[in-house]
Structure 1
């Protein structure tokens, strides 16, 4: 059974796994593990490793790591710092899995529309990254007094309505010129549950299909299309209006969609404080990425 038949629209593999489990669907090839850390942080890992799992979930084979922290949505400083460190550790693990080089070149792509607040997470994250490629290329790594510095460059391709081009077309052009060892994409996601808005981070090695969570499918940004590994990082900032109503009236999403106005069926909802939330989360993501790319040893850092 296709995931779309029984599950509300979501970009989170964790929520797909939860829906599968609740529906008693065949879960062969879907592996799940969870660990609880300090500060209320929960790290979940969903691994999809069979064709049966691909059909059941509607997601490609790969690893999906989810970092959840309820206090993150409240801007708790201690929690934000802890999540930043966990994000950097997980990202570093993904990088080691896709790139065996000690010193590497990375391209970070901020997907989304800078002019639409819930979709501005990617562009704002790239704004705060520690970009090094131009300096390394011009002056060498010793310009940083550190021969271990990685080459990092950033790209904000915008959206098709602004450029007339698919994001994939722009990224492929940059990849062919820059020749990074891997690409990291940052994007805003759609969630199934309101409790995960603004307080959940997903990392995956499968790449991403921009706009898929809101039904605006574009070409996939992945290894097959780019020729280099793609690590995708995202945070849910919107939720389908039909899902909220179906939860409120305790009815299936399909029945609720039939009762609602067709105009409402295409509506997505975001928290009222999304401006401050996106600003805070973009800073958190950029800091976590900067830490992961710094080659500093922080895994044993004590709080």
Structure 2
């Protein structure tokens, strides 16, 4: 079954991975938390997705910045310093003998509660910190053939509602968007802001190329994506006119190229939005659906990620 930009080939090695659960390394089948955990009861927590490249974790400092900032916004303790959390990440990787082609899900919840209720004051345990490393790579078919998007009715909320800057466990609006896009036969949902301008996708960030310029949303209604920010950096460094701005679906339908970004798959071309073919629909000689600007940025981003990978000290 297709899972859009997160489609991957199953790897049998993942059956025997060790998962870090509050500092203990336990087999996958034994990695469990209490039914009273804040994350299970309420989605009360923050998380990060990380890529392991050549023995290092790409853009680790930026991911930890976002994790700790989100926890502070939720008035939630992580219970570990940045150095301690970094050491725990590498301890888990070393225990599994992992050095490359690995995706990590780092999750922190407020901890165990005395009873199922939302008030943080009835939390009775320390924060729950889980690290799940898996051998996981995007399928070549997705990165080569691209994805199709469908504009969903579920909107991104304003900062005075649920602030989209927090990478929280509470992702119901994104799940609803994903379901609607799937029902429409698309790979992922394109989400608008409260005024009807393009914001982001349900699990990735969205970019278009128009007349040699790179556009993405102004960022008000989307997560501060690490890959998003780094693509903007490499684009500007390459001299490509790059803009964070508000734009509409009319701009999208008339774009020369489009792509989405995320930690897992990097840059993935978008070939269709709401039944409209993006650009001229032509492919490169090797069958790659990505346009010339997207291909250039994909290469620049991969080099940038490899150079940034922070290794254990």
The TM tier, using the shorter chain, reads under 0.3
- Bigger strand fraction: 2
- Bigger helix fraction: 1
TM-score w.r.t. structure 2 length?
0.22
TM-score w.r.t. structure 1 length?
0.23
